[in-house]
Amino acid sequence: MTTAKHSPNVALPNYCTLRDLAVAMAVRAGELAASMRDSIEASTTTKSSSVDLVTAADKAAEALIIEGLLASRPSDGILGEEGGERPSQSGVRWIIDPIDGTTNFVYDAPDYGVSIAAEFKGEIVAGVVYQPATRTLFEAVLDGGARRNGVDLAVNPANELATSLIATGFGYLADRRKDQAQVLLAVLPRVRDIRRLGSAALDLCFLAEGRIDAYYERGLNAWDLSAGVLIAAEAGATVGNLRGGKPDTGFVLAAPPDLFNPLRDLLVSVDADLGS
């Protein structure tokens, strides 16, 4: 992820205040998106490929979030999935996915959510994911733990790899998907089972609350991963890419600490972060 441009002397923001603002905007945007669900058919178009959907609700939710954030904090920067982008003068940049899991949204499946992260000096310091269909709110602040509807979250104790339930996802381009399917051939026989939910942000939150044991995916965008990675990490997950770095748009792996290395070794052995 890139660091927002800022003066070295910018004031340190209160992370809980950023989180609270993100919560307010995520809930409003989620309710707006849900209210538009039954009328989106005519507005649904595609983006990076014929299977990458975008709806009027994605755009309306992003516009609502950006307007609300900038009304409170006009000097902040923005990076939004639907094109919202402006540089930061405060050192804070908001990273927004107005609907993560748009395919589920279009098919009226419940696993989609609004994801909003606050980044300060290149580090994610607050993250919020709101699932409108279940009115579930996941949030975390850096070094402050993670919660679901106010209740503290903790990842599962590590299982053996062979008895671990692993979630993953796939990109929208055919060549990338072929490579991801090859990786899956190596992973599936070695784990309890695989889940493909359709929302990276919710995958990471479900890891944080123990509904899956680990999650990996290649080639996410910053808006898919930023809030969820903080929520998973604050719930006790080890998070990273496959080469000793932070999770990034190349690769995200999140798992309980004792499961991280065995799963990373398996993924490295099949070059899961290389190829198309």
**Which chain residues interact with ligand IPD by CB under 6 A?**
81, 97, 100-102, 169-171, 198-200, 217, 220, 224
User: Closer to ligand IPD at the Cβ: 158 or 212?
Assistant: 212
15 vs 112, which CB is nearer to ligand IPD?
Answer: 112
Nearer to ligand IPD, 158 or 217 (CB): 217
Separation of first and last alpha carbons in the chain:
20
Minimum distance from residue 258 beta carbon to ligand IPD (Å): 26
**217: annotated active-site residue:** no
Residues 44 and 37: beta-carbon distance below 8 Å? no
The whole-angstrom separation of Cα 111 and Cα 190 is 26
Whether 100 contacts 127, CB under 8 Å: no
CB 95 within 8 A of CB 230: no
In angstroms, what is the minimal distance from the CB of 201 to ligand IPD? 6
Catalytic annotation present for 108: no
Given the residues 224, 234, 238, 273, the one annotated as active site: 224
Distance in angstroms (rounded) separating the CA atoms of residues 224 and 195: 17
Sign of CA dihedral 166, 172, 177, 180: negative
Q: Are 125 and 223 in contact (CB under 8 A)?
A: no
Active-site entry in 58, 62, 76, 97: 97
What one-character DSSP code corresponds to residue 38? G
User: For this structure, is 139 an active site residue?
Assistant: no
- Nearest approach in angstroms of CB 148 to ligand IPD is 19
Tell me, yes or no, if 102 is annotated catalytic: yes
For residues 113 and 202, is the Cβ–Cβ distance under 8 A? yes
Nearer to ligand IPD, 251 or 260 (CB): 251
CB of 183 to ligand IPD, least distance (A): 13
Nearer to ligand IPD, 129 or 155 (CB): 129
Angle at 253 between CA 18 and CA 204, to 5 degrees: 45
CB of 13 to ligand IPD, least distance (A): 26
Task: Report the amino acid identity of residue 178.
Answer: K
Coil, strand or helix at 29:
helix
- Residues with a known catalytic role: 81, 97, 99-100, 102, 224
